[in-house]
Each structure stands twice: as C-alpha cells, then as structure tokens.
C-alpha cells in the first residue's frame, strides 16, 4: 500500500497548516490561541504515538513518560536563563535525539512482550518515571516542581513562539508518518501489526523496525514535552507524567483512526476542545473525569475503528455496491441476449 503524493493530499495539508499559521496573525482572541496550542500539542503527541501504536500495533500506554522526561530535560537545562528566548527551541532536537536513544533499551525490553502485556509493561514504565520524578528530589525538585526561566517575549505576542513550535512539531510528526507509509519501514511495520511471527518468518527485520518506530515516536513526544514545559514555565511530577496525557494520545488516535495520517489530528481537534469545555463547565469538581470517561466509552463502543476508517469503509462499500449493481445490470442484459443468440 504505497501511499502516493497526490495533489489533493498536498492541498489538504497546505490548507490545514496555512489556516493554523494564519490564526494568530488575524488576531484571534487569547483563549482561542491558548486552546489551539493545546490542540496542536495533542495532535503532535497523538500523531507520534500513532507511529508506534497505530502503524506497528504496539499500544503503548506509557508514552507520557517520554513527554515528562523531555519536559524535565528542558526545564533542567533552562532553569537559569533562556537568553533571547528563541535559542532554547534549537536545543529541542538534541533532547529529542537523546530521549530517542534512551528509549531504545526500554523499547527493546518492553517489546519482548506483545499486545496486552506490552500495554501493561508500558503503563508500569509510566509509574516508574513518575516515582522517579517525585523521589529524585536533588534533580527534579520532587513534589516542589521545577521551573523554566521566563523568556523575554513581547507580552502581546507571548504565545506565538510556542504555538509555532507546536505546529512545526506536528508537521514533523505527520511528515514522518507520511514517510513511513511510503517506505519499506512502514510496510514492515504493517506486517508486524498484521502477524509478527509470519513477518519474522519471511525475513522482515521486526526487531529493528519496531525499535525505530519506538525511538522516533518517543523522541517526538519528548520534544513536545520540552515545548510544553517551556510554555507552562513550572512543572510538577503529577502533571508532567500524567496518565491522562497518555490516555489523551491514545484516545485521540482511536477516535480519528489508528494507523491513518489524519486520524490523530482529527481526533485531537474534536477531543481537546471538548475536554476544555468539560473542564470549564464542570469547574474544579471531578465530574469532568466522569464526562471524559463517558466520551471514552462511547468512542470505544460505537466507533472502535475510528472516524476515518469507518468513513472510508462506508465509501468503499457504497462504491462496491454501485459496481455490483452495474455488474448485475450487465449480467442481466447478457442474459437477455442469450436466448436471441440461441434463436439465431
């Protein structure tokens, strides 16, 4: 299933990113930009998760650990000064690569297991990271949290650099996802997802491609974590390594459609605004958790394959039905013709 670069695809991506870029320039309200930052952040996270969870079929529930590690790496590097405010963004790729490398042994150990057990192991990894963030007080500051120096940005456009950084990360994550779907890596990953033993049997280098997907996905998530820490300015273990972020990534990919390019993005643009709405209307009470769980259940029960795959499935079925009808009609005329032929 090699994915082609089509004009429609290019236009879709172009329009989408152009719209995102233009919003602050047109001068949208502050709350909108704030909402968009988190929406794009989740789109980037979910797209990165999708590289492993969607394409390879390894549903990691521990990806927020890498998010937290990236956030702490950023906060510890820039606790004193951020210079002109823009240079820290240039350090992000270093954090991404470092975390990607760090994730290799973790990926190697955890991907000795599959499916359910893999999910268990990764969720345990989440708790390990959270415990470490709380307990290594000399490094992380423990429950006291860690802070990032405030950048000297113009208050009027303070949010802009973070917003554009998130957009760049989303573009990279989608670019990688697209590249994977066109390359041998993506093909190998989909064989892993379909049947890993058979894939191994016919000579697909399963361990290598799984590790590539794991490391790339972890590194991307860590970079997003870095930008998040910079934007928030003050991070605590329970928020930097929050199981809800992990669930957010997974849920958005599930809602939009796992293994698709646009699914995670679509999922984020539906769920993040909904989440914010719940949090606003239910205030500080924990009812929003309940509402979130309800949305979660509805998605799992009624749209288990996600929006995009369901739609494309329906389209394909309609097309097949139309084709079938045409063939029936043809067969009918052929039937009608035969007696005449017999007569002749």
Least distance from C-beta 317 to other proteins, angstroms? 16
Interacting span for other proteins (CB under 8 A) from 57-65, 86-94, 176-184, 308-316: 57-65
Cβ-based burial of 235 (10 A; exposed 0-12, middle 13-18, buried ≥19): buried
Q: Based on CB atoms, which residue is closest to other proteins, 34 or 124?
A: 124
Q: How far apart are CA 308 and CA 153, in angstroms?
A: 39
Coarse DSSP helix, strand, coil percentages of the chain, rounded to the nearest 5 percent: 80, 0, 20
Q: Based on CB atoms, which residue is closest to other proteins, 37 or 199?
A: 199
Q: How far apart are CA 72 and CA 217, in angstroms?
A: 18
Hunting for tokens 């009918």 — which residue is that? 332
- The Cβ of residue 307 has, within 10 Å, a number of other Cβ atoms equal to 19
Least distance from C-beta 116 to other proteins, angstroms? 5
Q: How far apart are CA 131 and CA 65, in angstroms?
A: 11
- Stretch 129-168 residues interacting with other proteins (CB under 8 A): 131, 134-135
Asked whether 61 and 191 are in contact (CB, 8 A), the reply is no
Q: How far apart are CA 273 and CA 261, in angstroms?
A: 20
Instruction: Pick from 6, 286, 333, 338 the residue near other proteins by CB under 8 A.
Output: 286
Least distance from C-beta 303 to other proteins, angstroms? 11
Q: Tell me if 197 contacts other proteins by CB under 8 A.
A: no
- The Cβ of residue 272 has, within 10 Å, a number of other Cβ atoms equal to 22
- Stretch 299-338 residues interacting with other proteins (CB under 8 A): 300-301, 304-305
Indicate the SS3 state at residue 258: coil
- Stretch 167-196 residues interacting with other proteins (CB under 8 A): none
Q: Tell me if 78 contacts other proteins by CB under 8 A.
A: no
Instruction: Pick from 23, 143, 293, 331 the residue near other proteins by CB under 8 A.
Output: 293
Q: How far apart are CA 121 and CA 111, in angstroms?
A: 9
Q: How far apart are CA 220 and CA 223, in angstroms?
A: 5
Number of chain positions touching other proteins (CB under 8 A): 42
Q: DSSP class of residue 262?
A: S
Per-residue binding letters, 16-55, with other proteins (x by CB under 8 A): ----------------------------------------
Residues in a beta bridge with 147: 234
Q: Based on CB atoms, which residue is closest to other proteins, 37 or 121?
A: 121
Q: How far apart are CA 84 and CA 178, in angstroms?
A: 34
Per-residue binding letters, 95-134, with other proteins (x by CB under 8 A): --------------xx-xx-xxx-xxx-xx--xx--x--x
Q: Based on CB atoms, which residue is closest to other proteins, 22 or 194?
A: 194
Q: Tell me if 274 contacts other proteins by CB under 8 A.
A: no
DSSP state string for 95-108: HHHHHHHHHHHHHH
Instruction: Pick from 6, 285, 333, 338 the residue near other proteins by CB under 8 A.
Output: 285
Q: Based on CB atoms, which residue is closest to other proteins, 239 or 296?
A: 296
Least distance from C-beta 115 to other proteins, angstroms? 5
Q: Based on CB atoms, which residue is closest to other proteins, 110 or 188?
A: 110
Q: How far apart are CA 124 and CA 260, in angstroms?
A: 27
**If residue 147 lies in a helix (H) or strand (E), which one and from where to where?**
strand 146-147
Q: Tell me if 59 contacts other proteins by CB under 8 A.
A: yes
Hunting for tokens 């860590």 — which residue is that? 222
Q: Based on CB atoms, which residue is closest to other proteins, 74 or 125?
A: 125
Say how many Å lie between the first and final Cα of the chain, rounded: 49
Supply 165's token pair. Answer: 């950084």
Q: Tell me if 247 contacts other proteins by CB under 8 A.
A: yes
> Which positions touch other proteins (CB under 8 A)?
57, 59, 61, 109-110, 112-113, 115-117, 119-121, 123-124, 127-128, 131, 134-135, 243-244, 247, 250-251, 254, 285-294, 296-297, 300-301, 304-305
């Amino acid at each position: 299933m090699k994915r082609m670069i089509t004009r429609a695809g290019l236009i879709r991506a172009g329009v989408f990113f152009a719209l995102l870029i233009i919003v602050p320039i047109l001068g949208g309200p502050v709350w909108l930009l704030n909402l968009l930052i988190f929406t794009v952040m989740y789109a980037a996270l979910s797209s990165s998760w999708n590289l492993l969870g969607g394409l390879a079929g390894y549903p990691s529930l521990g990806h927020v650990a890498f998010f937290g590690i990236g956030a702490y790496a950023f906060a510890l590097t820039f606790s004193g000064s951020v210079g002109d405010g823009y240079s820290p963004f240039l350090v992000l790729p270093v954090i991404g690569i470092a975390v990607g490398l760090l994730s290799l042994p973790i990926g190697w150990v955890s991907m000795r297991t599959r499916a359910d057990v893999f999910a268990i192991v990764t969720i345990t990894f989440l708790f390990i990271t959270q415990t470490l963030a709380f307990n290594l007080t000399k490094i992380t500051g423990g429950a006291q949290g860690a802070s990032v120096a405030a950048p000297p940005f113009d208050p009027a456009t303070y949010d802009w650099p973070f917003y554009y950084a998130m957009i760049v990360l989303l573009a990279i994550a989608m670019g990688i996802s697209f590249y994977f779907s066109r390359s041998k890596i993506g093909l190998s990953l989909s064989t892993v997802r379909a049947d890993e033993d058979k894939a191994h049997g016919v000579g697909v280098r399963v361990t290598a491609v799984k590790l590539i997907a794991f490391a790339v996905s972890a590194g991307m998530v860590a970079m997003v974590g870095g930008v998040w820490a910079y934007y928030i300015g003050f991070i605590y273990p329970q928020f930097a390594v929050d199981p809800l972020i992990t669930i957010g990534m997974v849920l958005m990919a599930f809602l939009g459609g796992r293994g698709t390019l646009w699914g995670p993005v679509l999922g984020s643009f539906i769920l993040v605004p909904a989440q914010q709405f719940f949090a606003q209307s239910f205030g500080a009470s924990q009812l929003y958790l309940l509402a979130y769980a309800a949305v979660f259940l509805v998605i799992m029960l009624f749209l288990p394959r996600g929006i995009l795959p369901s739609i494309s499935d329906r389209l394909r079925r309609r097309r097949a039905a139309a084709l079938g009808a045409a063939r029936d009609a043809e067969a009918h005329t052929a039937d009608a013709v035969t007696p005449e032929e017999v007569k002749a």
